[in-house]
Amino acid sequence: MTPVLQVVVGSVRPGRVGPAVGDWIAGHPAVLERFTVQTVDVADLGLPLLDEPELPRMGRYRQAHTRRWSELAGRADAFLFVTPEYNLAPPASLTNAIDYLHREWWFKAAAIVSYGGRGGGLRSAQLLRQILGAVSTFVVHESVSIHHVAARITDHGRLDAPPEAAALVGPMVESLALLAGALGAVRTPPGVPATAVPVS
């Protein structure tokens, strides 16, 4: 069965370019060849600042928005996080979405596509790696960064990715697919399809 990749668009601010970056990577041939792709826009999740009374690791979610997010994230075999850089870090909307859940992230593979100005969101990606490591999500070494992203958005709102960024997608996806397969075996008891294993 083809593994499920969720492309998580992390920015929610008005005027954001995150959806354009997310659409570009979600529709890349290298991604579509290896994964069944779902795009998850954090702006559509309706998550306030973390409002669960119990620790996420307990898995006893009381809020309907948390249960919906848990069910959605639990379907993924791998994640591809699309993040800008705000003050050297990922946006609070993205880290808040990560903080809501716990076991849903365990032993899942991930990759990062960052974007920004001159720095291409690289410092945000570096910090996001640490955050994901704290919830036992394994991030591949390869990544993609889009520099001067505002100048790469067409009049139709699409990303015209620079060739040097596009060339990095294939190696990143190859590593992500291999890691997703290996971690799927770790998460799945022998003889049980991976999709039948509950996350909480």
pLDDT digits (tens, 9 = 90+) for 7-23: 999 999 999 999 999 99
Give the Cβ contact number of residue 52 at 10 Å.
Answer: 16
The CA distance from 173 to 33, in Å, is 10
pLDDT of residue 195: 45
Confidence of residue 81 (pLDDT cuts 50, 70, 90): very high
Nearest to 106 by CA among 3, 35, 172, 200: 200
pLDDT of residue 187: 82
pLDDT greater than 60 at residue 111: yes
pLDDT of residue 194: 47
pLDDT of residue 190: 60
Computed over every residue of the chain, the mean pLDDT equals 94
Fold held by 4-196: Rossmann fold (3.40.50)
Confidence of residue 189 (pLDDT cuts 50, 70, 90): low
CB 188 within 8 A of CB 7: no
- pLDDT above 70: percentage of residues in the chain: 94
CB 107 within 8 A of CB 138: yes
pLDDT of residue 198: 46
Domain borders along the chain are 4-196
Which backbone phi and psi does 54 adopt, to 5 degrees? Answer: -105, 160
Mean pLDDT, residues 79-100 taken together: 98
pTM confidence score? 0.93
Task: State pLDDT tens for residues 30-43.
Answer: 999 999 999 999 99
pLDDT greater than 80 at residue 199: no
CB 177 within 8 A of CB 4: no
SS3 category, 26: helix
Nearest to 79 by CA among 124, 109, 103: 109
Task: State pLDDT tens for residues 130-145.
Answer: 999 999 999 999 999 9
Mean pLDDT, residues 99-119 taken together: 98
